[in-house]
Structure 1
């Protein structure tokens, strides 16, 4: 897919994966909406990229907010790409704690709303907009890339909400690709392993020393640009559709 004259939206675009993806898409010729709630970081990134990117404050749990971000992308050019890579809180607690108290269902539901329902909201609304595009010579109108996690396959202790949400994103992928095939919109999912991002709140050297040895090969945490490189390859390769790609250095989470 040629991105010349095209626009893209990246939810979570001010974060680690998101920023790297925004930069890759801009370098490939797209104009990009940085859709995030992190206003300061988002605006700094947009300023750095000049006319090729704008920041739009976006809440993926709100229909109106996502609609506004998509309209902003359409104002920049034909919307061809949506990358759903936003983060959010996950409590990291066992279903029943040592005192016999159950993990609150409301907290579980909030995580699902952000990571799974929010993903569906961006996917469905972006695809609806793309379906109105003139098809390219390949017959394609656009591509949506969602982000799961290897925790969606083998969640660790305390990840019931996060693992359920990311497992749902994985389960959504093939059905969405089949649903959207008639309108020429591809859907792909990336499932990262242990990647270093600012969300760890640690210096990279410290984080690598703590978590890098758990990755078989290469024996380090992933870099955000490695995610972004894969995302761009998905955009450019029209025959990638309906698949979840693990990018994890052969890591498998154990108990």
Structure 2
């Protein structure tokens, strides 16, 4: 699929993996739309990239609906949607103070899984309005999971469940939306240099990086963006979840 002048919605686009994807797609000629709760950061980056920033809570149906409607009015139907918005939670099912608070589990599912599905359904509605290319393609949705979907560590039950759900819906979504010429893929990142990671002490970051087989360093958000770009441009990559993790396999803890 061509990138030039195609509206590309990116959730969590103000920082981290979303910013990395936004920079790569904008450089390739896409019209990036950054959806984020951190509207000031999103506006600053959008101004730099010549894009559009819209405040959005992906887990709220009305917020997402209004955000995509605003994007549609400004740029026309999106052809690319990249979901990077998410939260990282940690907590044991049975901790020192008893069982995990169910609200913690619910919030993680609501943001990471339901929020991803929310954007998927709304973006697909816009994509079906686009004129198909020679292959009959109208758009592509790229979701973000995690290697924790496959090797969740102790304390990651909620997070792993949310990301595992993203992986599980990839193939059925791709199969269903194929008749509209819409592809669906997922990226499962490993350890990346994101704001969440940078909030950890440097010695912790160094220890995590040392455990990566190769390269023994944290991934850069732009490297995530490079895979996003490849997925957009490779027309037969569909229904796939791709690990981007330097060959690491998480241990129990």
* TM tier relative to shorter chain: over 0.9
Partner of residue 211, structure 1: 208
> Residues 29-178 of structure 1: matches in 2 within 5 Å?
29-49=29-49, 52-74=50-72, 75-90=74-89, 92-99=90-97, 101-178=98-175
CA contact (8 A) 1:180 1:186 kept: yes
Deviation for aligned residue 1:73: 2.5
After superposition, give the CA deviation of every residue in 1:138-184 in whole Å (9 maximum; x if it has no partner).
21000000000000001011111000000000001001000100000
Match for 1:189 among 178, 186, 190? 186
Instruction: Supply the distance in 2 between the matched residues of 1:200 and 1:187 (Cα, whole angstroms).
Output: 27
Cα 1:37–1:214 shift into 2, 3 Å: same
Instruction: Supply the distance in 2 between the matched residues of 1:207 and 1:228 (Cα, whole angstroms).
Output: 25
After superposition, give the CA deviation of every residue in 1:102-125 in whole Å (9 maximum; x if it has no partner).
001121011100000010000011
Q: Give the length in aligned residue pairs.
A: 251
- Give the TM-score taking structure 2 as reference length: 0.95
- Give the TM-score taking structure 1 as reference length: 0.94
Instruction: Supply the distance in 1 between the matched residues of 2:219 and 2:5 (Cα, whole angstroms).
Output: 31
Deviation for aligned residue 1:204: 9.2
Deviation for aligned residue 1:208: 4.2
Segments of 5+ residues of structure 2 without an aligned counterpart are none
Aligned-partner SS, 1:79: coil
Instruction: Supply the distance in 1 between the matched residues of 2:84 and 2:200 (Cα, whole angstroms).
Output: 22
Partner of residue 23, structure 2: 23
CA contact (8 A) 2:64 2:119 kept: yes
Quote the RMSD (CA, aligned, Å). Answer: 1.5
After superposition, give the CA deviation of every residue in 1:171-223 in whole Å (9 maximum; x if it has no partner).
01001000100000000000001111122244896554121011111111111
Partner of residue 224, structure 2: 227
Aligned-partner SS, 2:170: helix
Instruction: Supply the distance in 2 between the matched residues of 1:122 and 1:217 (Cα, whole angstroms).
Output: 33
